[in-house]
Amino acid sequence: MTIKYIDELSIENKRVFIRVDFNVSMKDGKIKDDTRIRAALPTIEYALSKNAKVILGSHLGRPKGKGFEEKYSMEPVAERLSELLGNKKVIFPEDCVGDAIKKLSKDMEPGQVMLLQNLRFHAEEERNDDNFSKQLASLCDIYINDAFGTSHRAHASTAGMAKFVSVKGAGFLMKKEVESLGKIVSNPEKPFVAILGGAKVSDKIAVIENLLNLVDELIVGGGMAFTFLKAKGFTIGKSLFEEEKVHTANKILERAATKGIPILLPVDHVVASEISDTAKSEVTKDANVPEGTMGLDVGPKTIEEFSKAISKAKTIFWNGPLGVFETEQFSKGTMTIAKLVADSNAMTVIGGGDSVTAVNKAKVADKITHISTGGGASLEFVEGRKLPGLTALE
């Protein structure tokens, strides 16, 4: 993929539009986690060091394009960004397009920063509307995409506007994502072990299909394991599974067997009749789940089996928890695997989503080689799909 990065472009004194992913989690108008803002700082600070006029665009939440909504305003983000930039003034207009915004962009001084209002207040953003894309493009001389987490979406700010800006490239966060995930799909050091968890098989069929061309062993846990166990004839009690995907799971198991790639499934479970901290739980003697209960975490024998594969790996990709880890008594499997992955000698990549929450909860994030900022985007990348936000930069 031939993409230029921000440090390969001449951006001095130019208006540089950086598409960032400031879709932070909020509660009562306050930012709960500023990780995504911090992740964009290297690119923003580099642009400022070159005296660029920096214009930042992002969405926040899902306002559905119906105009301004207080709870989705970028204002708290502008305030936090200002603090992170050493209390630097961040210009914050009341919209993201229009004549007033265009004038603001032209009047900016080198080294100034402007954060636009939520792009998704306009329905045209998600529709990838050409006219809206042109309006955004008119604000800048150079377009930089540093929002990997939204690069699998063909929206105006992630793909559309790039057509109307002659000079374009990617930021440092995007570079880190492309290089780390690229290594997994093109040249992983062997043995390569992938760990997939989470609720649904349907979300990950294409990922599994592609991983079977790359991995030496595939570990499957979480809710999605029960669709595979059902396909193999085990009883699964009240456990979560997808009836319509049992046939697909069977086909995947057959294909893996033909290729000689072991798919490791749970051999025991922690089960209970309900998900709660007070529910009475027990460990099953094998992979069968008793009637009236559901599998909510992997059992000790499973952890032992999984850890053998992890300890031999030179490359590990992990996406999705192995149980209902938000509930303390069903968190042991996910927490233990997080620590094993972190302590391994492998190149380790966490594919966004709940797995990021898990490594943070296990306090091992600093030991992971690369933590992806995009759950959906990282999965589509590993599937081998072209991401609109990246192809727009080629």
What confidence tens digit (pLDDT) does each residue in 321-347 have?
A: 999 999 999 999 999 999 999 999 999
175, 205, 236: which is the final residue of a domain? 175
Q: Which domain holds residue 282?
A: 188-383
Residues 159, 195: one domain? no
Q: How many domains does the chain have?
A: 2
Q: Do 310 and 332 fall into the same domain?
A: yes
The stretch 362-381 carries a mean pLDDT of 90
Catalytic residue of the set 198, 223, 353, 375? 353
Task: Give yes or no: residues 125 and 35 share one domain.
Answer: yes
Domain boundary among 122, 141, 175: 175
> Within this chain, do residues 61 and 150 fall inside the same structural domain, yes or no?
yes
Determine, yes or no, domain membership for 181: no
Instruction: Confirm whether 169 is domain-assigned.
Output: yes
The answer to whether residue 331 sits within a structural domain is: yes
pLDDT band at 369 (very low <50, low <70, confident <90, very high): very high
Choose the catalytic residue: 15, 36, 168, 230: 36
Q: Give the confidence band of 370 by pLDDT, cuts at 50, 70, 90.
A: very high
- Both 192 and 171 in a single domain? no
**Does a structural domain hold residue 43?**
yes
Last residue of a domain, one of 132, 153, 175: 175
Flag whether 129 is in a domain.
Answer: yes
Confidence band of 1 (pLDDT split at 50, 70, 90): low
pLDDT digits 0-9 by tens, 276-315: 999 999 999 999 999 999 999 999 999 999 999 999 999 9
Q: How far apart are CA 222 and CA 34, in angstroms?
A: 28
Note whether residue 180 is domain-resident: no
What tens digit of pLDDT does each residue of 213-257 get?
999 999 999 999 999 999 999 999 999 999 999 999 999 999 999
Instruction: Note whether 197 and 338 are same-domain residues.
Output: yes
Residues 208 and 250 in one domain: yes
238 tagged catalytic: no
Residues 124 and 192 in one domain: no
Cα-based distances in Å from 216 to 193, 263, 376, 385: 6, 9, 23, 21
Do 248 and 354 have their domain in common?
yes
Active-site option among 134, 200, 312, 339 = 200
**390 within some domain:** no
Q: Is residue 376 among the annotated active site residues? A: yes
Question: Is position 200 annotated as part of the catalytic site?
Answer: yes
Same structural domain, 141 and 216: no
- Of the candidates 61, 65, 376, 384, the residue annotated as catalytic is 376
pTM: 0.88
pLDDT in tens, 172-212: 999 999 999 999 999 899 999 999 998 888 888 889 999 99
Average pLDDT taken over every residue of the chain: 95
